[in-house]
Structure 1
Amino acid sequence: MRETILASLEKIEEDNHVKILFACESGSRAWQFPSKDSDYDVRFIYVHKKEEYLAIDPIGIGSKRDVIELPINDLLDITGWELTKALRLFRKSNPPLMEWLRSGIVYYQAFSTIEQMQELSKSIFAPNSCLHHYLNMAANNFREYLQGEEVKIKKYFYVLRPVLAAGWIEKYNEFPPLEFSTLVNHLVPEGPLKIEINTLLKRKLDGEELDKEPKIQVINQFLNEEIERLREYASSLTSGIPNFTTKLDLLFRNTLEEVWN
């Protein structure tokens, strides 16, 4: 699959006259709870030639899109963000982008831009906005999939992970690791809850069909209580991070010089 992904990225560069700076895995594979039939969620950051930026219409306006998406098939989902779009979101500590920069599965990396972003990400971290992102994701999935006596059992992971990510931010005041097992081991005490979570994880990794089953009461109770508790905690935080625009402007200009000269 890696060869297929790299060939797709090369074709994207040729077809769109861009340079890809970074491509990684996102989603369940990066979170380390893929099913045997999980697709590959590839995310990348790219940059246009200089002349595309020296125009009266900025990238992202009208027909000048700031996203490249390939048609999704059963195995492969490839989406990329243009660099200025990525840097604007990075300035706000955008959680999906922060996760890309920490992915343990990197398919491609060129030039120095991503290393610089990874270093800056230690300072560009907004606990408040990240907490709200994870808690909204958890609450929406909890409400949508885990109510009733029978639930879509695999959806537990898509509520547990954002809840634990929010818990990591509360406990350590830093951006959470991607790996689900790391979150569980650091945040869930020994006992029935941890046993149920690890049993469910083993079943998923073993390739069992996790369709509708009776809900797991101990997990439901934990999720319900944690979402409410962490929402109260998030509401007590003040928002805002230092303005890194000057540094990010310089990073963008230096990238253009490094890539195209």
Structure 2
Amino acid sequence: MRGHTTLLRQAGLPVTDLTPVLRQEPCPLLFATVSGAHLYGFPSRDSDVDLRGVHVLPAEDLVGLRTPEETRSRMWDHDGVEMDLVTHDLRKFVRLMLKPNGYVLEQLLSPLVVHTTVLHAELVELAPAVVTRNHAHHYRGFAGTQWRLYERTGELKPLLYTFRALLTGIHLMRTGTLVAHLPALLGEVAAPAYLPALIEAKAEAEHGAAHLADGPAVAQDVEALNAVLDEARTASRLAEAPSGFDALHDLVVRARLGETASP
């Protein structure tokens, strides 16, 4: 985990051992990673830490009459930092992977790892098989939601989320590689020159106003990037539909029947 610790520190995260906290979870965890602004490369001084992952329900929870708790969430304070942990049961997570859902892929492939297992590594290896051209729709939709939020609030956070989603989608369509870190994307995809200044401003406050943004120019840039994303999807060599269903099914069965989820 030494490499993971270095990445956590570079992302501005509190590098502390969360193992005792994660062990309090009622079911074994397959993995837990950091998502949100820290993953996207523009955390604020007052940002909370978004932990996302997968737990494995026991088989008896799925074969009886009771509806299983497939998604669990909890929040707590850790040395003055608000932590937010959300996990899905493995079967639900894999079903989401088989849809054009970039959000779960970002969680799975996040380099900011706080807990991992052998099965986590297997799941990562299978991830490329589920990436399709239709993931462009996910990123276009997410960008649209964040853009409307920016229009209502004028806050910098949803504006950066808008640009991040569009650039991630464009890069994914062109390369088949998922990159969620906005500063890294600026070196890979043509983007407005003012984005580094907006990222720097976001570091001061989680819900600060986008004072540095020129409204009409920003709107024009967002419209242009939406067009670039559509063009990238049309030209993409990615598959139309996911593969790897059988391998993912086998992984879920093995995990459910008791294959270790230990590091």
User: Could you tell me which of 68, 83, 95 is aligned with 1:88?
Assistant: 95
Quick check: 1:186 aligned with 2:188?
Answer: yes
Q: CA deviation at 1:43?
A: 0.7
**1:27 corresponds to which of 36, 39, 61:** 36
Aligned residue in 2 for 1:224: 223
Aligned to 2:201, the other structure's residue is in SS state helix
Amino acid at match of 2:24: K
Inter-CA distance 252–35: structure 2 relative to 1 (3 Å threshold): same
CA RMSD, aligned part only? Answer: 2.9
Correspondence for 1:133: 138
Q: Which residue in the other structure is 2:10 paired with?
A: none
Residue pair 1:25, 1:107 contacting (<8 A) in 2 also: yes
Checking the alignment, whether the CA contact within 8 Å between 1:151 and 1:214 is kept in structure 2 is: no
The alpha-carbon deviation at position 253 of structure 1 amounts to 2.2
1:68 aligns with 2:72: yes
Could you list the per-position Cα deviations for residues 96-122 of structure 1 after superposition, in whole angstroms to 9, with x for gaps in the alignment? 111012212111112x21111111112
Q: Which residue of 1 aligns with 2:124?
A: 118
Q: 1:132 to 1:209 in 2, by over 3 A?
A: closer
Q: Residue in 2 aligned with 1:168? A: 171
TM-score, length of structure 1 as denominator length: 0.81
Distance 1:49 1:41 in 2: 25
Cα distance between partner residues in 1 of 2:260 and 2:174: 40
Compute the displacement of 1:209 (Å): 7.0
TM-aligned CA deviation for residue 46 of structure 1: 0.9
Task: Please say which of residues 234-243 and 99-108 is displaced more in the overlay.
Answer: 234-243
Deviations 1:150-197 (A, max 9, x none): 92233321111011112113332x1421211111111126xxx31x11
Query: Is 1:200 equivalent to 2:198 in the alignment?
Result: yes
Q: 1:108 aligns with which of 108, 115, 118?
A: 115
SS in 1 for 2:211: strand
Over 3 Å counting, the alpha-carbon distance change for 1:72 and 1:132 in structure 2 is farther
Q: 234-243 or 212-221: which moved more? A: 234-243
Cα–Cα, structure 1 residues 170 and 245, in superposed 2: closer, same or farther, change >3 Å?
Answer: closer
Paired amino acid for 1:188? A
User: Which amino acid in 2 is paired with 1:70?
Assistant: R
Normalised to the residue count of structure 2, the TM-score between the two structures is: 0.80
